[in-house]
Protein backbone atom coordinates (compact mmCIF):
# COMPACT_ATOMS: atom_id res chain seq x y z
CA UNK A 1 0.00 0.00 0.00
CA UNK A 2 1.55 3.27 -1.12
CA UNK A 3 1.57 6.34 1.07
CA UNK A 4 0.70 9.60 -0.70
CA UNK A 5 3.34 12.20 -0.07
CA UNK A 6 2.26 15.67 0.99
CA UNK A 7 3.70 18.58 -1.01
CA UNK A 8 4.48 21.98 0.54
CA UNK A 9 1.38 23.38 -1.20
CA UNK A 10 -1.06 20.89 0.28
CA UNK A 11 -2.84 22.54 3.19
CA UNK A 12 -5.01 20.94 5.78
CA UNK A 13 -8.58 22.29 6.18
CA UNK A 14 -7.50 24.15 9.30
CA UNK A 15 -4.57 25.76 7.50
CA UNK A 16 -6.80 26.71 4.57
CA UNK A 17 -9.26 28.34 6.95
CA UNK A 18 -6.45 30.22 8.69
CA UNK A 19 -5.12 31.30 5.29
CA UNK A 20 -8.52 32.69 4.34
CA UNK A 21 -8.84 34.51 7.66
CA UNK A 22 -5.42 36.08 7.08
CA UNK A 23 -6.38 37.24 3.59
CA UNK A 24 -9.64 38.74 4.85
CA UNK A 25 -7.83 40.50 7.73
CA UNK A 26 -5.17 41.92 5.41
CA UNK A 27 -7.83 43.07 2.98
CA UNK A 28 -9.77 44.78 5.77
CA UNK A 29 -6.63 46.50 7.08
CA UNK A 30 -5.68 47.61 3.56
CA UNK A 31 -9.17 48.96 2.92
CA UNK A 32 -9.24 50.76 6.26
CA UNK A 33 -5.78 52.24 5.64
CA UNK A 34 -6.83 53.43 2.20
CA UNK A 35 -9.97 55.07 3.60
CA UNK A 36 -7.97 56.78 6.37
CA UNK A 37 -5.40 58.02 3.84
CA UNK A 38 -8.13 59.39 1.53
CA UNK A 39 -9.83 61.13 4.46
CA UNK A 40 -6.49 62.61 5.55
CA UNK A 41 -5.77 63.94 2.06
CA UNK A 42 -9.31 65.32 1.70
CA UNK A 43 -9.04 67.04 5.07
CA UNK A 44 -5.86 68.84 4.05
CA UNK A 45 -7.28 69.79 0.65
CA UNK A 46 -10.49 71.14 2.19
CA UNK A 47 -8.54 73.08 4.82
CA UNK A 48 -6.31 74.62 2.15
CA UNK A 49 -9.15 75.43 -0.26
CA UNK A 50 -11.88 76.20 2.27
CA UNK A 51 -12.91 79.45 0.56
CA UNK A 52 -13.54 77.50 -2.66
CA UNK A 53 -14.80 74.18 -1.30
CA UNK A 54 -17.39 75.55 1.12
CA UNK A 55 -19.42 77.51 -1.50
CA UNK A 56 -19.22 74.55 -3.88
CA UNK A 57 -20.43 72.24 -1.10
CA UNK A 58 -23.37 74.54 -0.33
CA UNK A 59 -24.29 74.76 -4.01
CA UNK A 60 -23.97 71.00 -4.42
CA UNK A 61 -26.21 70.26 -1.44
CA UNK A 62 -28.81 72.79 -2.58
CA UNK A 63 -28.71 71.30 -6.08
CA UNK A 64 -29.39 67.82 -4.72
CA UNK A 65 -32.30 69.18 -2.67
CA UNK A 66 -33.80 71.21 -5.55
CA UNK A 67 -33.35 68.68 -8.40
CA UNK A 68 -36.85 67.20 -7.87
CA UNK A 69 -38.43 70.65 -8.13
CA UNK A 70 -36.74 71.29 -11.48
CA UNK A 71 -37.81 67.86 -12.71
CA UNK A 72 -41.36 68.65 -11.58
CA UNK A 73 -41.39 71.85 -13.61
CA UNK A 74 -40.09 69.98 -16.66
CA UNK A 75 -42.73 67.25 -16.49
CA UNK A 76 -45.86 69.13 -15.49
CA UNK A 77 -45.20 72.55 -17.03
CA UNK A 78 -43.56 71.02 -20.13
CA UNK A 79 -40.51 73.27 -19.93
CA UNK A 80 -36.99 72.65 -21.11
CA UNK A 81 -34.21 72.47 -18.52
CA UNK A 82 -33.14 76.11 -18.81
CA UNK A 83 -36.70 77.45 -18.48
CA UNK A 84 -37.35 75.18 -15.47
CA UNK A 85 -34.19 76.39 -13.68
CA UNK A 86 -34.99 80.04 -14.39
CA UNK A 87 -38.56 79.52 -13.15
CA UNK A 88 -37.25 77.96 -9.94
CA UNK A 89 -34.91 80.91 -9.34
CA UNK A 90 -37.76 83.36 -9.93
CA UNK A 91 -39.97 81.47 -7.47
CA UNK A 92 -37.20 81.43 -4.84
CA UNK A 93 -36.51 85.12 -5.38
CA UNK A 94 -40.21 85.89 -5.05
CA UNK A 95 -40.42 83.93 -1.81
CA UNK A 96 -37.34 85.74 -0.50
CA UNK A 97 -38.82 89.17 -1.31
CA UNK A 98 -42.15 88.19 0.27
CA UNK A 99 -40.47 87.05 3.48
CA UNK A 100 -38.35 90.21 3.58
CA UNK A 101 -41.41 92.44 3.18
CA UNK A 102 -43.32 90.60 5.91
CA UNK A 103 -40.50 89.99 8.36
CA UNK A 104 -37.84 92.64 7.68
CA UNK A 105 -39.50 95.59 9.50
CA UNK A 106 -39.96 93.53 12.67
CA UNK A 107 -36.46 92.04 12.36
CA UNK A 108 -34.86 95.47 11.91
CA UNK A 109 -36.73 96.80 14.94
CA UNK A 110 -35.68 93.84 17.07
CA UNK A 111 -32.07 94.15 15.95
CA UNK A 112 -31.99 97.88 16.75
CA UNK A 113 -33.49 97.34 20.19
CA UNK A 114 -31.04 94.53 20.92
CA UNK A 115 -27.93 96.55 20.04
CA UNK A 116 -29.22 99.48 22.08
CA UNK A 117 -29.68 97.23 25.10
CA UNK A 118 -26.31 95.43 24.80
CA UNK A 119 -24.46 97.89 27.13
CA UNK A 120 -27.19 97.55 29.77
CA UNK A 121 -27.15 93.75 29.43
CA UNK A 122 -23.38 93.75 29.96
CA UNK A 123 -23.59 96.12 32.95
CA UNK A 124 -26.44 94.22 34.60
CA UNK A 125 -24.66 90.93 34.01
CA UNK A 126 -21.49 92.24 35.62
CA UNK A 127 -23.42 93.59 38.60
CA UNK A 128 -25.34 90.36 39.17
CA UNK A 129 -22.22 88.20 38.80
CA UNK A 130 -20.34 90.47 41.21
CA UNK A 131 -23.11 90.07 43.76
CA UNK A 132 -23.53 86.30 43.29
CA UNK A 133 -19.80 85.47 42.95
CA UNK A 134 -17.93 88.18 44.88
CA UNK A 135 -14.72 86.14 45.07
CA UNK A 136 -14.60 84.33 41.74
CA UNK A 137 -15.34 87.30 39.47
CA UNK A 138 -12.49 89.56 40.76
CA UNK A 139 -10.08 86.65 40.43
CA UNK A 140 -11.23 86.12 36.84
CA UNK A 141 -10.88 89.82 36.08
CA UNK A 142 -7.36 89.90 37.54
CA UNK A 143 -6.43 86.84 35.48
CA UNK A 144 -7.74 88.47 32.31
CA UNK A 145 -5.90 91.71 33.08
CA UNK A 146 -2.62 89.82 33.53
CA UNK A 147 -2.89 88.36 30.05
CA UNK A 148 -1.00 90.43 27.53
CA UNK A 149 -3.67 91.35 25.06
CA UNK A 150 -1.10 92.53 22.57
CA UNK A 151 0.50 89.09 22.40
CA UNK A 152 -2.88 87.54 21.61
CA UNK A 153 -3.55 89.88 18.71
CA UNK A 154 -2.20 88.92 15.27
CA UNK A 155 0.57 91.01 13.74
CA UNK A 156 0.03 93.11 10.63
CA UNK A 157 0.92 90.30 8.25
CA UNK A 158 -1.36 87.79 9.96
CA UNK A 159 -4.18 90.33 10.16
CA UNK A 160 -3.86 91.06 6.45
CA UNK A 161 -3.82 87.36 5.61
CA UNK A 162 -6.93 86.72 7.73
CA UNK A 163 -8.72 89.71 6.21
CA UNK A 164 -7.96 88.43 2.71
CA UNK A 165 -9.18 84.98 3.74
CA UNK A 166 -12.48 86.39 5.08
CA UNK A 167 -12.98 88.49 1.96
CA UNK A 168 -12.30 85.46 -0.26
CA UNK A 169 -14.75 83.41 1.79
CA UNK A 170 -17.50 86.05 1.45
CA UNK A 171 -16.81 86.40 -2.28
CA UNK A 172 -17.10 82.62 -2.59
CA UNK A 173 -20.48 82.69 -0.87
CA UNK A 174 -21.61 85.33 -3.37
CA UNK A 175 -20.97 82.82 -6.17
CA UNK A 176 -23.22 80.15 -4.60
CA UNK A 177 -26.28 81.15 -6.71
CA UNK A 178 -24.15 80.93 -9.88
CA UNK A 179 -22.77 77.51 -8.94
CA UNK A 180 -26.29 76.37 -8.07
CA UNK A 181 -27.66 77.60 -11.41
CA UNK A 182 -25.14 75.63 -13.47
CA UNK A 183 -25.43 72.56 -11.22
CA UNK A 184 -29.20 72.48 -11.72
CA UNK A 185 -28.83 73.21 -15.44
CA UNK A 186 -26.45 70.30 -15.95
CA UNK A 187 -29.12 67.82 -14.82
CA UNK A 188 -27.84 64.27 -15.17
CA UNK A 189 -24.97 65.23 -17.44
CA UNK A 190 -22.48 65.38 -14.56
CA UNK A 191 -23.53 61.88 -13.54
CA UNK A 192 -23.05 60.59 -17.08
CA UNK A 193 -19.65 62.30 -17.28
CA UNK A 194 -18.64 60.63 -14.02
CA UNK A 195 -19.71 57.26 -15.42
CA UNK A 196 -17.67 57.90 -18.55
CA UNK A 197 -14.55 58.53 -16.45
CA UNK A 198 -14.69 54.91 -15.26
CA UNK A 199 -14.02 53.40 -18.69
CA UNK A 200 -10.59 52.12 -17.59
CA UNK A 201 -12.16 49.77 -15.04
CA UNK A 202 -13.94 46.49 -15.60
CA UNK A 203 -17.70 46.40 -15.94
CA UNK A 204 -18.13 44.84 -12.48
CA UNK A 205 -15.95 47.54 -10.89
CA UNK A 206 -17.90 50.24 -12.68
CA UNK A 207 -21.15 48.80 -11.32
CA UNK A 208 -19.73 48.74 -7.79
CA UNK A 209 -18.47 52.34 -7.96
CA UNK A 210 -21.72 53.62 -9.50
CA UNK A 211 -23.78 51.77 -6.89
CA UNK A 212 -21.76 53.10 -3.96
CA UNK A 213 -21.74 56.62 -5.41
CA UNK A 214 -25.50 56.51 -5.75
CA UNK A 215 -25.84 55.28 -2.17
CA UNK A 216 -23.72 58.20 -0.94
CA UNK A 217 -25.69 60.73 -3.02
CA UNK A 218 -28.96 59.28 -1.72
CA UNK A 219 -27.80 59.61 1.89
CA UNK A 220 -26.64 63.21 1.38
CA UNK A 221 -29.82 64.16 -0.48
CA UNK A 222 -32.22 62.58 2.03
CA UNK A 223 -30.33 63.95 5.02
CA UNK A 224 -30.06 67.55 3.86
CA UNK A 225 -33.51 67.68 2.31
CA UNK A 226 -34.99 66.51 5.60
CA UNK A 227 -32.71 68.57 7.86
CA UNK A 228 -33.33 71.78 5.92
CA UNK A 229 -37.09 71.35 6.23
CA UNK A 230 -36.76 70.48 9.92
CA UNK A 231 -34.34 73.35 10.58
CA UNK A 232 -36.53 75.94 8.86
CA UNK A 233 -39.63 74.69 10.65
CA UNK A 234 -37.91 74.76 14.04
CA UNK A 235 -36.49 78.21 13.25
CA UNK A 236 -39.94 79.61 12.50
CA UNK A 237 -41.44 78.02 15.63
CA UNK A 238 -38.68 79.39 17.88
CA UNK A 239 -38.72 82.82 16.21
CA UNK A 240 -42.47 83.13 16.84
CA UNK A 241 -42.15 81.74 20.37
CA UNK A 242 -39.23 84.01 21.29
CA UNK A 243 -41.12 87.01 19.94
CA UNK A 244 -44.21 86.19 21.98
CA UNK A 245 -42.27 85.87 25.26
CA UNK A 246 -40.38 89.12 24.64
CA UNK A 247 -36.80 87.93 23.96
CA UNK A 248 -34.45 90.50 22.42
CA UNK A 249 -33.67 89.88 18.71
CA UNK A 250 -36.11 86.96 18.77
CA UNK A 251 -36.32 86.46 14.99
CA UNK A 252 -32.53 86.33 14.60
CA UNK A 253 -31.99 83.92 17.48
CA UNK A 254 -34.93 81.71 16.53
CA UNK A 255 -33.96 81.29 12.87
CA UNK A 256 -30.28 80.87 13.74
CA UNK A 257 -30.94 78.14 16.31
CA UNK A 258 -33.33 76.37 13.95
CA UNK A 259 -30.87 76.32 11.05
CA UNK A 260 -28.06 75.19 13.37
CA UNK A 261 -30.04 71.99 13.83
CA UNK A 262 -28.81 70.95 10.39
CA UNK A 263 -25.98 69.65 12.58
CA UNK A 264 -27.87 67.42 15.05
CA UNK A 265 -28.08 68.78 18.63
CA UNK A 266 -26.03 71.89 17.77
CA UNK A 267 -29.00 74.27 17.85
CA UNK A 268 -30.08 73.07 21.29
CA UNK A 269 -26.56 73.37 22.75
CA UNK A 270 -25.90 76.82 21.30
CA UNK A 271 -29.36 77.98 22.37
CA UNK A 272 -28.86 76.99 26.00
CA UNK A 273 -25.33 78.44 26.16
CA UNK A 274 -25.94 81.78 24.40
CA UNK A 275 -29.63 82.70 24.53
CA UNK A 276 -30.35 81.83 28.18
CA UNK A 277 -27.88 84.45 29.56
CA UNK A 278 -29.34 87.09 27.24
CA UNK A 279 -32.86 86.27 28.44
CA UNK A 280 -31.73 86.59 32.05
CA UNK A 281 -29.70 89.81 31.72
CA UNK A 282 -31.79 91.78 29.22
CA UNK A 283 -33.58 94.88 30.68
CA UNK A 284 -36.95 93.21 31.24
CA UNK A 285 -35.49 89.72 31.68
CA UNK A 286 -35.01 87.48 34.67
CA UNK A 287 -35.78 84.02 35.88
CA UNK A 288 -39.34 84.06 34.52
CA UNK A 289 -38.17 84.90 30.99
CA UNK A 290 -35.53 82.16 31.20
CA UNK A 291 -38.19 79.62 32.14
CA UNK A 292 -40.38 80.77 29.26
CA UNK A 293 -37.40 80.56 26.91
CA UNK A 294 -36.56 77.04 28.02
CA UNK A 295 -40.22 76.10 27.61
CA UNK A 296 -40.18 77.34 24.00
CA UNK A 297 -36.96 75.42 23.26
CA UNK A 298 -38.30 72.28 24.95
CA UNK A 299 -41.60 72.49 23.05
CA UNK A 300 -39.74 72.95 19.77
CA UNK A 301 -37.50 69.98 20.51
CA UNK A 302 -40.58 67.92 21.37
CA UNK A 303 -42.22 68.82 18.06
CA UNK A 304 -38.98 67.94 16.26
CA UNK A 305 -38.60 64.59 18.02
CA UNK A 306 -42.23 63.46 17.91
CA UNK A 307 -43.50 64.93 14.64
CA UNK A 308 -40.84 66.34 12.31
CA UNK A 309 -38.02 63.78 12.44
CA UNK A 310 -40.26 60.65 12.34
CA UNK A 311 -42.37 62.05 9.49
CA UNK A 312 -39.58 63.62 7.41
CA UNK A 313 -36.41 61.72 8.19
CA UNK A 314 -37.92 58.39 9.35
CA UNK A 315 -34.54 57.47 10.92
CA UNK A 316 -32.95 57.21 7.47
CA UNK A 317 -29.41 57.29 8.80
CA UNK A 318 -30.03 54.34 11.16
CA UNK A 319 -27.35 55.68 13.53
CA UNK A 320 -27.51 55.65 17.31
CA UNK A 321 -27.55 59.16 18.87
CA UNK A 322 -24.20 58.49 20.56
CA UNK A 323 -22.70 57.54 17.19
CA UNK A 324 -24.11 60.76 15.71
CA UNK A 325 -22.37 62.88 18.37
CA UNK A 326 -19.06 61.02 17.97
CA UNK A 327 -19.25 61.30 14.17
CA UNK A 328 -19.86 65.06 14.39
CA UNK A 329 -16.78 65.52 16.58
CA UNK A 330 -14.66 63.21 14.40
CA UNK A 331 -15.57 64.61 10.98
CA UNK A 332 -15.52 68.17 12.31
CA UNK A 333 -11.89 67.61 13.29
CA UNK A 334 -10.84 65.71 10.17
CA UNK A 335 -12.53 67.84 7.51
CA UNK A 336 -11.87 71.26 8.92
CA UNK A 337 -14.76 72.31 11.14
CA UNK A 338 -18.11 73.30 9.71
CA UNK A 339 -18.02 71.21 6.52
CA UNK A 340 -17.12 68.08 8.45
CA UNK A 341 -19.81 68.67 11.07
CA UNK A 342 -22.46 69.21 8.40
CA UNK A 343 -21.45 66.10 6.43
CA UNK A 344 -20.82 63.94 9.51
CA UNK A 345 -24.11 62.00 9.57
CA UNK A 346 -24.35 61.13 5.85
CA UNK A 347 -20.64 60.25 5.71
CA UNK A 348 -20.89 57.95 8.72
CA UNK A 349 -24.07 56.33 7.44
CA UNK A 350 -22.40 55.77 4.07
CA UNK A 351 -19.33 54.17 5.67
CA UNK A 352 -21.60 51.84 7.66
CA UNK A 353 -23.34 50.86 4.43
CA UNK A 354 -19.99 50.48 2.67
CA UNK A 355 -18.75 48.13 5.39
CA UNK A 356 -21.89 46.01 5.15
CA UNK A 357 -21.58 45.95 1.35
CA UNK A 358 -17.92 44.85 1.46
CA UNK A 359 -18.77 42.17 4.03
CA UNK A 360 -21.59 40.80 1.88
CA UNK A 361 -19.39 40.87 -1.22
CA UNK A 362 -16.67 38.89 0.55
CA UNK A 363 -19.22 36.45 1.90
CA UNK A 364 -20.58 35.92 -1.61
CA UNK A 365 -17.16 35.45 -3.22
CA UNK A 366 -15.57 33.25 -0.57
CA UNK A 367 -18.67 31.35 0.42
CA UNK A 368 -20.82 31.96 3.44
CA UNK A 369 -20.28 28.40 4.70
CA UNK A 370 -16.51 28.66 4.65
CA UNK A 371 -16.08 31.76 6.79
CA UNK A 372 -17.51 32.16 10.24
CA UNK A 373 -18.43 35.84 10.55
DSSP 279: H
Q: How high is the mean pLDDT of the chain?
A: 75
Q: Give the pLDDT of residue 49.
A: 61
- Top-confidence range, 232-236, 312-316, 363-367: 232-236
With contact defined as beta carbons under 8 Å apart, do 278 and 248 qualify? yes
Q: Give the pLDDT of residue 158.
A: 61
Q: Does position 9 have pLDDT exceeding 60, yes or no?
A: no
Q: Give the pLDDT of residue 1.
A: 46
Q: Give the pLDDT of residue 198.
A: 67
Place 216 in a pLDDT band, splitting at 50, 70 and 90.
confident
SS3 state of residue 366: helix
With contact defined as beta carbons under 8 Å apart, do 210 and 89 qualify? no
Question: What's the pLDDT tens digit per position in 248-257?
Answer: 888 888 888 8
Q: Give the pLDDT of residue 164.
A: 67
Place 263 in a pLDDT band, splitting at 50, 70 and 90.
confident
Question: Average pLDDT for residues 359-369, to the nearest whole number?
Answer: 62
What are the distances in angstroms from CA 145 to CA 137, 142, 150, 186, 219? 12, 5, 12, 57, 50
What are the distances in angstroms from CA 81 to CA 46, 71, 131, 176, 221? 32, 8, 66, 19, 20
Q: Give the pLDDT of residue 202.
A: 74
Amino acid sequence: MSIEKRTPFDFTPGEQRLFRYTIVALSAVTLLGTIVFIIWVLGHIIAALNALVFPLAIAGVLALVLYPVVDLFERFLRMNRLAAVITLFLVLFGLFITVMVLVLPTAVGQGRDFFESVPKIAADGHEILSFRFPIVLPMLEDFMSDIKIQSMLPDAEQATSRAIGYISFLMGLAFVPLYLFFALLSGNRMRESAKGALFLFTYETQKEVIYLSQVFVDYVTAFFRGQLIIGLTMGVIMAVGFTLIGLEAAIYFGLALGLLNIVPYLGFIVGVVTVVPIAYFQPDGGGQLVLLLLAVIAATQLVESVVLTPKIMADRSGLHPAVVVISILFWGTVLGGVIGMILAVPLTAFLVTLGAHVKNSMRTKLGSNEIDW
